[in-house]
Amino acid sequence: MPALASEGLRVTVAIDGIEGEELENVKVHLGYDNFVSNQQREISIRRWYKNSSKRIKKSLQALGYYSVDVESDYTKEQGEVQIAFAVELNQPVLISRVEAKVTGEGEGDSSFKEVISRFNELKDKKLRHDSYENLKNNLANVAIEKGYFDSQFITKKIDVYPEKQSAVITIEFASGKRYRFGEVVFDKSRLSDDFLKSFVSFKYADYYDAQKIIELRSKLLSSQYFSSVSVVRGDKQGDNLELPIIVNYDIKPRYKYDFGIGFGTDTGGRVSFGFEDRLVNSFGHHYSLFSEISQKQQNAGFEYIYPLDDPLKELYKFNLSYDREDIDFAKTRALTTGIERVSIKKNDWTKTRFLRYMQEKSYIAEQDVNASLLMPGINWLQSYSNDFKYPTKGWLGNINLMGSIESVGSDFSLLHARARFKFIHSLLPGMRLLLRTELGGMYIDESDYNNVPLSLRFFAGGDKSVRGYDYKHLSPESNGYKIGGKYLVVGSAEVDYKIAENWAVATFIDHGSAINNIKDELESGIGIGLRWFSPVGPVRLDLAVPQDEQADNFRIHFSVGPDL
């Protein structure tokens, strides 16, 4: 390979007989790239050449070749030096025997056993010094992670017999005693020690495990109290094997304020406000006030959160909200209060059991509908996304069941169910499949249906339902008025394809409606769209054509928000 030179001699170096990993390792040990890319004085070239054969052999020993033959040639003519190496690897050294063991308290530790097992798997394989060093490091890392802080290597060597093409690995690792967790010491702040210790998953005198330290820091940062967290082990005190754990942190500002603006074709322009007191008391209680105002919907609410023994997975919520909605065929006003018990279970399923009392006044089909309902219920939610901005794999499942009994604080008896499911899958690089379905239904005495308020009836149509139709305009009718349905069936399939880093085009079909009978007709909308994957989530612009001849020729939909 020739080099550019402003003075001195140009140099070319050819290495024949090896390729791939062996060739790359030789080049690294020779400093090949830097050498041939710069002008060189002849004295420097000859010094480099003189040592090159030894360096080639040394570099190949690291890969198990101890019987390497190297022939070299040095030629100088017309201001250029040409160097050539012919390398013959010959037979590699194989590992004929492995003697690896851990002694001391860690001898029976499964983590050490796994590393020793990997050492034993080297037998009869080609000797590689990097594999040997990696496994040595693994033993030392396990010792640190599991609390064997007095561990040391008694023996660590490789005996190589080039004439036999064989090698023997000998490892003896003395673990020493395993340390335990001592007291967890937190910085002083408004939060009580009892509350802070509820984040700790290990107990005093449990065996030390670095993963528990990582989990503690992660849990503290995942809460809404801390802006930064440091968790370190303290120093050993005499012969005591219990190490204190020191937690230092910075508290977030107590008060948080939010303001947002947005637009969607379902609701029109909107503004939102939020206030949160993150630290009401030393037990980690917090509350929030929120409001969102749009052309069609307005709401305001209060929520108080009471953490339990595991603050990230178990808590109570007390809430109060006022909701108002005005659409062209109906309007409603609802005051709701309730209590919720939130639990995050295995596989990140969030289970919420609730008791909700609602008073709602609706105006539907020129009729006043007033209802008071006391509704216990349960909600399950799980979601996963491999990226917020542009997920290529993800899903969401949400099921809500609730009901009321006429003789227990309610005007009528009702069983109400609603479920949403979404799925995202990558078809090809830059191409995704997005599936969505929403199902709902209620069981109620026929004579009581006219007393069901607007928020509990089912409607379809709009940006997040069946595109091509106006918001909530797919519904059973009575005397020409849309009155909502007892059931909801909506499905959607969409494919989008990236045309630039943050832009994609999409095509979709939506199908469904709100109905009163399983045999009722469902409507469809098909269309194309443009996607911008903005820092705040996807922005969608869709042109949808309804497949109902009586509907508008097309409808434009605009929405902002995550895909899941």
Predicted pLDDT at 5: 39
Residue 542 dihedral angles phi and psi, to the nearest 5° = -120, 145
Neighbours of 151 (CB within 10 A): 23
Question: Measured between alpha carbons, how far is 53 from 30 in angstroms, rounded to an integer?
Answer: 9
* Virtual torsion, Cα 448, 451, 456, 462, nearest 10 deg: 110
Predicted pLDDT at 7: 62
- Nearest CA-CA partner of 491 in 391, 426, 422: 422
Predicted pLDDT at 358: 97
Predicted pLDDT at 492: 97
Taking a C-beta distance cutoff of 8 angstroms, is the pair 434, 563 a contact?
Answer: yes
In a structure prediction context, what are the per-residue pLDDT tens digits for the chain, which is 564 residues long? 444 434 678 899 999 999 999 999 999 999 998 888 888 888 999 999 999 999 999 999 999 999 999 999 999 888 889 999 999 999 999 999 999 999 999 999 999 999 999 999 999 999 999 999 999 999 999 999 999 999 999 999 999 999 999 999 999 999 999 999 999 999 998 999 999 999 999 999 999 999 999 999 999 999 999 999 999 999 888 888 999 999 999 999 999 999 999 889 998 899 999 999 999 999 999 999 999 999 999 999 999 999 999 999 999 999 999 999 999 899 999 999 999 999 998 778 999 999 999 999 999 988 999 999 999 999 999 999 999 889 999 999 999 999 999 989 999 999 999 999 999 999 999 999 999 999 999 999 999 999 999 999 999 999 999 999 999 999 999 888 999 999 999 999 999 999 999 999 999 999 999 999 988 999 999 999 999 999 888 999 999 999 887 666 889 999 998 898
Predicted pLDDT at 536: 83
Element housing 28 (H / E):
helix 20-30
Extended strands (E) in 329-459: 330-344, 350-364, 367-385, 393-404, 414-428, 431-443
Predicted pLDDT at 36: 87
Residue 200 dihedral angles phi and psi, to the nearest 5° = -85, 125
Residue 2 dihedral angles phi and psi, to the nearest 5° = -75, 155
- Nearest CA-CA partner of 387 in 335, 436, 432, 417: 432
In 191-301, where does DSSP find H-type helix? 193-197, 210-222
Question: Measured between alpha carbons, how far is 326 from 329 in angstroms, rounded to an integer?
Answer: 8
Please, is 428 exposed, middle or buried when counting C-beta atoms within 10 Å of its C-beta (0-12, 13-18, 19+)? exposed
Question: Measured between alpha carbons, how far is 238 from 446 in angstroms, rounded to an integer?
Answer: 79
Predicted pLDDT at 278: 94
Taking a C-beta distance cutoff of 8 angstroms, is the pair 413, 448 a contact?
Answer: yes
What type of residue sits at position 308? L
Question: Measured between alpha carbons, how far is 504 from 116 in angstroms, rounded to an integer?
Answer: 51
Predicted pLDDT at 552: 67
The pTM of the full predicted model, rounded to 2 decimals, is 0.81
Q: Are strands 414-428 and 393-404 parallel, antiparallel or unpaired?
A: antiparallel
Q: Strands of 69-77's sheet, edge to edge?
A: 10-16, 80-88, 69-77
Please, is 203 exposed, middle or buried when counting C-beta atoms within 10 Å of its C-beta (0-12, 13-18, 19+)? exposed
Q: What is the DSSP letter of 465?
A: S
Question: Measured between alpha carbons, how far is 107 from 103 in angstroms, rounded to an integer?
Answer: 5
In 445-489, where does DSSP find H-type helix? none
Taken in order 142, 148, 149, 152, the sign of the CA dihedral is negative
Q: What is the DSSP letter of 148?
A: -
User: Phi/psi class of residue 104: alpha, beta or left (left: φ > 0; alpha: ψ in -120 to 50)?
Assistant: left
Which tokens sit at 206?
């449990």
Q: What is the DSSP letter of 456?
A: G
Question: Measured between alpha carbons, how far is 124 from 174 in angstroms, rounded to an integer?
Answer: 26
Question: Measured between alpha carbons, how far is 406 from 422 in angstroms, rounded to an integer?
Answer: 35
Q: Are strands 503-515 and 487-500 parallel, antiparallel or unpaired?
A: antiparallel
Predicted pLDDT at 2: 42
